[in-house]
Structure 1
């Protein structure tokens, strides 16, 4: 694993109390860590009816409705 990749993964690790605060801005559902098809970190909405995926760029979750894509 490259140093950059390791740094990116470490930057997306949140304390449990901080993770509990994050919610999908569209559905209000809980968000959990995931990876996209290219192996990049994402946050995945746990809404069963409308699951969405949000990108994580430079370790920062981009929680904008316009950035969401279907899971």
Structure 2
């Protein structure tokens, strides 16, 4: 039986090669601690929920 609630979610590196920021079309980096995809150009962090990146600008967290 899988312990899905205690297992940290990771992002497939191949996914990072394909995904781009929906605002700038720039590269994204993965923040493992916060489980987010970060766009330095747009100064936004996109959440990953249940292993699925949420690539909507309105759901992104602004970076300080």
Question: TM over 0.5, yes or no?
Answer: yes
Return the TM-score normalized by structure 1.
0.68
Structure 1 residue runs of 4 or more that deviate by more than 4 Å after TM superposition: none
Return the TM-score normalized by structure 2.
0.74
The answer for the alignment partner of 1:5 in structure 2 is: 6
Note the residue ranges of structure 2 that are not aligned, 5 or more in a row: none
CA distance in 1, matches of 2:54, 2:16: 14
Measured on the aligned residues, the alpha-carbon RMSD in Å equals 1.8
How many residues matched?
A: 60
The answer for the alignment partner of 2:37 in structure 1 is: 43
Compute the displacement of 1:32 (Å).
Answer: 1.1
Note the residue ranges of structure 1 that are not aligned, 5 or more in a row: none
Task: Kindly indicate which of the two structures has a greater share of residues assigned to helix.
Answer: 1
